[in-house]
């Protein structure tokens, strides 16, 4: 390795990345083999044996690439190409290795594979950067499992919210603290808000991810440069509480939880339409909506309904306004229908602002390599938002993906992936000086 950093051309870097095709294909195959779900797709629940196996396997491959492998109190994995200046701020590349149940093989994991491919390209070129380049395999990004956003990334930053360690995984009841401990982490250190690194010690955080919407595929563009990540507020365990009654009960005497909840859904959908018409992007999702089959019946007025709510927007002021409007809708329904909304605890995720200078750099490199790109907002939340909220300069690259995400039909091509990775690697080659 050279002891000083001599920037190769974008073309040289592109060619070095392309030559890592077999490494990328092998890593994606390892992911499938270690987490294939017999019912379809892949399942890598956070702090499961499958997720842990992936972390260890990627660590083994990283060591073969002569990278230094470490893990923190959250059991996040770091695979580092050392720079020649230990005092220099490091570049962190990463994404998550967990998945939703019966998800696709690329969501999250592609970002970790991209980081390893980038390091392998540097090794092949015989270049040692000034600063450490560390690939982070993040734990527990998928909030559907524990009801907490950005567990691994916020834990590494010492920003895990109070009470998170007591959260239980939805499928097994495993507490987050027990999961961290079983994976070799240290929940006591997490509780003490021990940081893996200070935000000021990071030059940037970069994340490659498949697009979770249809725009790149629809427009025939292989790579996207992300302009922002929405923040959100969530009610993971909300209820509408009315009164059970006989189906013959007159309308004015009913305290029907389902009717009240349905009115809430329609009102939130109308709010979304109004905001879209006003040019203020947002999204609203009722993910769960159910009565208790053991208590409710065809001949009973339903007295309780459980639901979840996720509302997201790209602007903090917009998000705050949306929460206020949501509360106003709830109060109105409660007053008119004689029910009570018990929203449970509120989970929040900050708006993720992308670093304009890095985005512009991605754009310039793509033009020089004649790779078509477009700028677009992310419809989904990502670990990048946690780093951006902590003050770390952050940027994301999307890879074209057919058939959406969080399903077995995710369809990213290796060619698109390598083009996106080449853009990121070329920027690192310049940014690591």
Q: How does pLDDT run across 114-172, given as a tens digit for each residue?
A: 999 999 999 999 988 999 999 999 999 998 899 898 999 999 999 999 999 999 999 99
Residues in the chain: 433
Parallel, antiparallel, or unpaired: how do β-strands 202-210 and 90-96 relate? parallel
CATH architecture of 232-349: 2-Layer Sandwich (3.30)
Average pLDDT over residues 176-191: 97
Kindly state the percentage of the chain with pLDDT values over 90: 88
Helices (H), 246-311: 257-277
Q: Which fold has domain 10-230+351-431?
A: Aminopeptidase (3.40.630)
**pLDDT reported for residue 342:** 98
pLDDT tens sequence across 379-395? 888 999 999 999 999 99
Does the pTM surpass 0.75? The reply is yes
Tens-digit pLDDT profile for residues 111-130 = 999 999 999 999 999 988 99
**What mean pLDDT is reported for the chain?**
94
The token duo for 231 is 């923040």
Quick one: three-class SS letters along 110-154? HHHHHHHHHHHHHHHHCCCCCCCEEEEEECCCCCCCCCCCCHHHH
Angle, helix 10-18 to helix 109-125, in steps of 10 degrees: 120
Q: What was the pLDDT predicted at 2?
A: 44
C-beta of residue 273 within 8 angstroms of C-beta of residue 265? no
Cβ-count burial 324-333 (b if 16+ within 10 Å, e if not): ebbeebbeeb
Q: What would the two tokens of residue 321 be?
A: 């306004």
For 269-297, what is the mean pLDDT?
94
Q: Are 198 and 376 in contact (CB under 8 A)?
A: no
Structure tokens at 141: 């990004």
* 303 vs 294, more confident: 303
- Tell me: the pLDDT tens digits for 81-122? 999 999 999 999 999 999 999 999 999 999 999 999 999 999
Q: Where are the domains of the chain?
A: 10-230+351-431, 232-349
Integer Cα distance of 215 and 209 in angstroms: 14
Res. 1: pLDDT tops 50: no
| pLDDT at residue 6, as a whole number | 57
Q: Which residue has 């409660």 as its token pair?
A: 334
Q: At what angle do helices 49-64 and 109-125 cross, to 10 degrees?
A: 10
pLDDT surpassing 90 at residue 185 = yes
Question: Averaged over 238-255, what is the pLDDT?
Answer: 94
What is d(CA 190, CA 196) in angstroms, rounded to the nearest whole number?
Answer: 10
Ranges 230-234, 309-313, 324-328: which has the least confidence: 230-234
CA 93 from chain center: how many Å?
A: 14
Report the C-alpha dihedral over residues 318, 323, 325, 331, rounded to 10 degrees: -170
Q: Which residue has the tokens 């979770």?
A: 212
pLDDT above 90: residue 196: yes
């Amino acid at each position: 390795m050279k002891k000083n950093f001599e920037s190769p051309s974008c073309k040289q870097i592109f060619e070095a990345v392309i030559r890592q095709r077999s490494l990328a294909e092998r890593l994606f195959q390892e992911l499938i083999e270690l987490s294939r779900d017999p019912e379809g797709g892949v399942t890598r629940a956070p702090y499961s044996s499958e997720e842990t196996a992936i972390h260890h396997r990627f660590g083994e491959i990283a060591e073969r690439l002569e990278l230094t492998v470490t893990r923190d109190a959250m059991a996040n994995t770091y695979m580092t190409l050392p720079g020649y200046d230990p005092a220099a701020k490091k570049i962190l590349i990463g994404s998550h290795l967990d998945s939703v149940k019966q998800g696709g093989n690329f969501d999250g994991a592609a970002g970790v594979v991209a980081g390893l491919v980038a390091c392998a390209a540097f090794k092949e070129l015989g270049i040692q950067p000034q600063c450490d380049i560390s690939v982070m395999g993040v734990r527990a990004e998928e909030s559907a499992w524990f009801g907490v956003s950005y567990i691994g990334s916020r834990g590494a930053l010492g920003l895990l919210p109070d009470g998170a360690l007591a959260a239980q995984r939805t499928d097994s009841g495993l507490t987050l603290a027990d999961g961290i401990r079983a994976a070799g982490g240290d929940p006591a250190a997490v509780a003490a808000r021990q940081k893996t690194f200070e935000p000021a010690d990071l030059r940037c955080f970069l994340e490659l991810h498949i697009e979770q919407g249809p725009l790149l595929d629809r427009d025939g563009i292989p790579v996207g440069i992300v302009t922002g990540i929405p923040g959100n507020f969530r009610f993971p365990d909300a209820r509408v509480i009315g009164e059970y009654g006989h189906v013959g009960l007159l309308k004015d005497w009913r305290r029907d939880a389902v009717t009240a909840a349905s009115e809430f859904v329609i009102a939130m959908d109308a709010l979304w339409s109004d905001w879209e018409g006003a040019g203020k992007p947002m999204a609203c999702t009722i993910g769960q909506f159910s009565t208790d089959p053991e208590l409710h019946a065809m001949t009973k007025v339903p007295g309780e309904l459980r639901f979840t709510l996720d509302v997201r927007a790209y602007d903090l002021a917009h998000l705050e306004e949306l929460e206020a409007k949501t509360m106003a809708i709830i109060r109105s329904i409660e007053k008119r229908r004689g029910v009570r909304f018990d929203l449970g605890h509120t989970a929040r995720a900050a708006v993720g602002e992308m670093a304009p200078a890095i985005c512009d750099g991605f754009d310039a490199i793509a033009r020089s390599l004649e790779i078509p790109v477009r700028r677009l907002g992310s419809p989904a939340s990502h670990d990048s938002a946690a780093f951006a909220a902590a003050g770390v300069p952050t940027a994301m690259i999307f890879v074209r993906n057919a058939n959406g995400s969080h399903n077995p039909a995710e369809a990213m091509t290796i060619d698109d992936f390598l083009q996106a990775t080449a853009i990121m690697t070329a920027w690192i080659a310049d940014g690591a000086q």
